[in-house]
Amino acid sequence: MAILKIARMGHPVLATPAKAVEDPKSPEIRRLIKDMVETMMDANGAGLAAPQVHIPLRVVVFQAPGERAGLPREEDGGLNEEERFDHTAPQTVLINPEIEVLGPEIEGGWEGCLSVPGLRGWVERPAHIRYRGVGLDGETIERVARGFHARVVQHECDHLEGRLYTSRMSDLSRLIFESEIRHFHSNEGQAAS
């Protein structure tokens, strides 16, 4: 396994739609996936798409650990017992993924990207999706996702279409350096008072 070089915003591989994988069980794809997982873990990322490591193929790896999920708070409308859902996802490999939006609800959240280091942006995305694809061993994976889980999947699949999260932002004043996010939140609170 190897740590792969991550393409940064501006590299043409990040702006070009990726090609479908023809043989998901090939040794080359298996090696790529292992290297992508190692690269994602080394970079402390929640996900990684093959175009981010200069390979224009429809492959993503991701995880949605609970400690990074930003679960709904009561003051944000909260969720009653019947509406609770799991924001987490295990480490997952998806080859040739597809996403289906399951409802009109849109949810905003802060996103970062290994290809846009040091920045965070507020991005609104569909809150409830179904995704499907082929897993590492050729099995079909199909899941319904909400919250952070849904956000991570959509973010990674955007890379397969040649999109970065910055192109989904409606307000570029909410594109900030990670090191300044605490100041941004404190100013937001003062402006709302």
* Both structure tokens of 20: 């479908």
pLDDT of residue 145: 95
pLDDT of residue 77: 42
pLDDT of residue 94: 98
Tell me the DSSP string of 55-111. --BSEEEEEE-GGGS-PPPGGGT---GGG-----EEEEEEEEEEEEE-SS-EEEEEE
37, part of any domain: yes
90, part of any domain: yes
| Catalytically active residues, by annotation | 156
pLDDT of residue 87: 65
173, part of any domain: no
Residue numbers of the chain with a pLDDT score lower than 70: 66-87, 185-193
pLDDT of residue 75: 38
191, part of any domain: no
In the chain, the number of structural domains is 1
- Per residue in 139-167, pLDDT (tens digit) is 999 999 999 999 999 999 999 999 999 99
Q: Which residue has the tokens 């996010």?
A: 181
184, part of any domain: no
Q: Is the pTM of this model over 0.75?
A: yes
pLDDT of residue 185: 63
Look up the CATH number of the domain holding residue 130.
Answer: 3.90.45.10
Which residue range is the domain that position 21 belongs to?
Answer: 12-117+125-167
